[in-house]
Amino acid sequence: AQSVTQPDIHITVSEGASLELRCNYSYGATPYLFWYVQSPGQGLQLLLKYFSGDTLVQGIKGFEAEFKRSQSSFNLRKPSVHWSDAAEYFCALDSNYQLIWGAGTKLIIKP
């Protein structure tokens, strides 16, 4: 069955520290994968996407993600977080043009 797992419900990171949010997927073919961010009181905004080609994809706001087929993972990274990055982050998988969503990871930034 197709699924997306975000193992971490919450992650706390100090401002200026690096960040990695985990995403694992289950899908029978080459996946189309996405990361979205939801700031408090806002809708979801697309950070980046992977369709094919280069396995390291760059997104907005300084985020990047690496697709690893052998590990069925698509982890989101940022080298240095800012307080404005505090939000909820969702990983999603395209399945026949419908999105399957992970449960989300809430990022908390410590000053």
Q: Of 81 and 92, which CB lies nearer to other proteins in the complex structure?
A: 92
Subset of 57-96 contacting other proteins (CB under 8 A): 90, 94
> Residue 19, CB half-sphere, CA atoms under 13 Å: how many?
30
DSSP 8-state class, residue 31 = P
At 31, the amino acid letter reads P
Is 44 a binding residue for other proteins by CB under 8 A? The answer is: yes
Determine which residue in the list 12, 18, 30, 45 makes contact with other proteins, applying CB under 8 A. 45
φ and ψ of 105, to 5 deg: -130, 125
Is 9 a binding residue for other proteins by CB under 8 A? The answer is: yes
CA angle 69, 70, 76 (to 5 degrees): 55
Stretch that binds other proteins, among 13-21, 56-64, 72-80, 98-106 (CB under 8 A): 98-106
Is 32 a binding residue for other proteins by CB under 8 A? The answer is: yes
